[in-house]
Structure 1
Amino acid sequence: MRGLLVGYGSAGRRHLAHFHALGVTDWTVVRSGRGTLAFQPPCAVRVVPDLEAAFALGHHDFAVVANPSAFHVATATACIGAGCHLLIEKPLATSLDALGAIEHAVRAADRRVLVGFQFRGHPAVDRIAGLVRDGRIGRVLRAELSWGEYLPDWHPWESYRAGYAARVELGGGVHHTLCHPVDLALRWFGPPRAVTADLVCNGPLGLEVAESAEAWLEWDGGLRAVIHLDYWRRPGGLRVELLGTDGSLEWDYPAGTLRVRDSAGNLPIDEPLPGVAEREALFAEQARHFLAVVAGAEPPRSSLRDGMDAARVTLGMEASARRRCTLHLADHP
């Protein structure tokens, strides 16, 4: 099997290592030379400066799109047109126009696509979906999902201001870069009806992109969710709390715990789960799963539609914050 990697930053390096561990050793790497990470691939690879040069080398079975967010759709569309199945990093897109372009390309080429929401492979995600579906805490009334990471600690080899996450022209902003909680809310409850959001730019880090985001999502039936994202938190982590008519649920990802309390305060479920110390296993499982998707052995956990739905919410957050209003997503296609 022949792979094409577009972008050798921290995500691209990780993908290459995990696929290599699974036996994929025939690689072409598109590397612009503008990145700051030392190039140390785990196996011999062909290095080319652009997609045109990569496609000139012949067919690739799949492509991994791991370049800056603003370039995801253009890169993915070109790779799909060249006959590649696709693993595309989140966010799928940073503009609404781009969403339509990639949907059309995938349908026309009949390629298999996995969007890089690796948390969909964490056992807590399906466990929580089952608990919600089975009514273990009654009807869910409110959800709180929070994720913060201190941006200056991400890439010690470069200034945090230089990375894609901090730059407008590269598709940066915390609502794009840390959009996993948005995807999880959609996984458990489906696409929301409306979003109201506030984005904070030029905060403590002095960035033009959003350094923090607060979003309030609304569903038909009365469910409300609050999503908080920031580039400030130390130590960082993902936490989820669901409040239902008959109890509550708490997932603390860094601590590796899932707890359900009933209405009497009892703790019928108190389960250990993989925590942040096992983070790399999420990417290893994502690589395994993607190869199974390419082979037609498994359906994608995070499909093109899932990626589009999440992007519509994050782009709706932008529009809501800019207009200072509640945005009905049906009116923001």
Structure 2
Amino acid sequence: MKVLIIGLGSIALKHIKALQELYPTVVIYALRREGEPLKEIEGVVEIFAIDEIAVDTLSFILISNPTAVHYDTIKKVMAYKKPLFIEKPLFSALSKEADRLVTEVEKQGVQTYVACNLRFLECIGKIKELIEGKRINEVNVYCGSYLPNWRPNVNFRKVYSANKEMGGGVHIDLIHELDYVYWLFGTPTHTRSFFSNRSSLDITAYDYANYLWEYVDFQVSVVLNYYRRDSKRTLEILTDEGTYLVDLLENNIWYNDEIIFESGQRMLQTYTTQMHFFIEEILSKQIKFNTIVEGYKVLQLCLQE
């Protein structure tokens, strides 16, 4: 297996680790920009132009460069007709050009997958099974953590997340929450959203987002923030029979105050599970799962104000 990775930041390293763990003989090429210092990662061949390799021998192309350049990257590499693994979010903004690109990728039959590793967290998969056929009355999603702790020894105000002009913001960073809600419940009938950056973090990007998605029989509230010091990541589902509380950080599920599911899987392990599914199911069996069309739909739900 040969894989081309475009972008070699922290998220790419997680994918590389997953690939090497699952497929020890994998050959990984990393496309770098001219002038960038070499990172010399074991098992990774750094190149500075795609024509340095035989593209037709690649199993797939993994796009993990900055979101702001995803559009240009996808537009360029789709001509190779190789499957694309695209790190979330799909784009940094909505546009007619993005609409056309998504349509063109599908028209050309390019196989695509937009990363959504929380779908592979075992408590999320389990709750999808548990609520099947249940009458739901209300859903509450909460994800809050402290942005300055995300990247130790780095000035948090200078990173992408904190800067609106760089396309950052809590709604984009935590689009995973919106993705799993979409996966569990489908497309809402109506949506409303509210964004702000009034906290003491003093950043230009949104540090708070609140979504209300309406479905035929219930509503989903999603609250996201960058300023909570004691991290919390939960999903609460109120049914006719009782209340499910999913703790994503602990990977467990409570039902009416009693624990009914526990998993020792940690968040980092979802990258390995995701990669295995991508290669063994999406690539090998031609299964469609969170394609560029779905990824763009979630992005539309995320960015609409």
CA distance in structure 2 between the partners assigned to 1:237 and 1:298 by the alignment: 36
Distance in 1 (CA, whole Å) between partners of 2:166 and 2:244 is 37
Tell me the amino acid that sits aligned with residue 162 of structure 2: A
Shift of 1:249: 0.7
What is the deviation of 1:273? 2.3
The CA deviation string for residues 286-309 of structure 1, in whole angstroms up to 9 with x for no partner, is: 111121245332624433233122
CA contact (8 A) 2:282 2:289 kept: no
Structure-2 residue corresponding to 1:29 = 30
Query: Which of these residues, 203, 228, 232, is aligned with residue 227 of structure 2?
Result: 232
Q: How many Å apart are 1:134 and its aligned residue?
A: 2.7
Structure 2 residues not aligned, in runs of 5+: none
Residue in structure 1 matched with residue 263 of structure 2 by the alignment: 273
Following superposition, the deviation at residue 202 of structure 1 comes to 5.0
1:159-213 C-alpha deviation (Å, 9 max, x unpaired): 2223222233432111011111111111111111222222112532221111111
**Alignment partners' CA distance in 2, 1:256 and 1:83:** 38
State how far apart, in whole Å, the 2-side matches of 1:96 and 1:293 are. 30
State the 1:34 CA deviation: 8.7
Amino acid at match of 2:170: V
Q: Displacement, 1:231?
A: 1.2
Matched, 1:203 2:199: yes
Q: In 2, Cα distance between the equivalents of 1:124 and 1:148?
A: 18
Say if 1:149 and 1:235, in contact at 8 Å, map to a contact too. Answer: yes
Q: Given that residues 69 and 170 in structure 1 are in contact (C-alpha distance below 8 angstroms), is that contact kept between their aligned partners in structure 2?
A: no
Distance in 1 (alpha carbons) for counterparts of 2:149 and 2:47: 29
Contact 2:63 2:86 in 1 (8 A): yes
Counterpart pick for 1:178 among 160, 174, 178: 174
| Pairing 1:247–2:242 present | yes
1:264-290: per-residue Cα shift (whole Å, max 9, x none)? x7x4x6111246xx1221001111112
SS at structure 2 position matched to 1:296: helix
Equivalent in the alignment of 2:74: 76
Matched residue, 1:329: none
Which deviates further from its counterpart, 174-183 or 160-169?
A: 160-169
Corresponding residue for residue 120 of structure 1: 119
Per the alignment, residue 142 of structure 1 pairs with: 138
Q: 1:200·1:212 contact (CA, 8 Å) conserved in 2?
A: yes
Residue by residue, what CA displacement relative to the aligned partner does 1:92-132 show, whole Å, maximum 9, x if unpaired?
Answer: 12322254133223223312211111011122223222222
Deviation at 1:72, TM superposition (A): 1.9
1:132/1:188 contact within 8 Å kept: no
For 2:94, give the aligned amino acid: L
Per-residue deviation at 1:76?
2.1
Following the alignment from structure 1 to structure 2, what is the Cα–Cα distance between the partners of residues 210 and 74? 25
Number of positions where the alignment pairs a residue of Structure 1 with one of Structure 2:
301
Query: Does the CA-based 8 Å contact 2:2-2:59 persist in structure 1?
Result: yes
Q: Give the aligned residue type for 1:21.
A: E
2:280 matched to which residue of 1? 292
> CA–CA distance in 2 between the matches of 1:94 and 1:154?
20
* Distance in 1 of aligned mates of 2:91 and 2:14: 21
When the two chains are superposed, the root-mean-square deviation of aligned CA atoms in Å is 2.4
SS in 1 for 2:183: helix
- In 2, Cα distance between the equivalents of 1:159 and 1:192? 38
Aligned to 2:250, the other structure's residue is in SS state coil
Name the structure 1 match of 2:10: 10
Residue in 1 that maps onto 2:93 = 95
Is the counterpart of residue 315 in structure 1 residue 286 in structure 2? no
SS of the residue corresponding to residue 210 of structure 1 reads coil
> Match of 1:330?
none
Say whether 1:256 aligns with 2:248.
no
Q: Percent identity?
A: 22
Q: What residue is the counterpart of 1:104 in the other structure?
A: 103
Kindly indicate whether residue 33 of structure 2 is the aligned counterpart of residue 62 of structure 1.
Answer: no
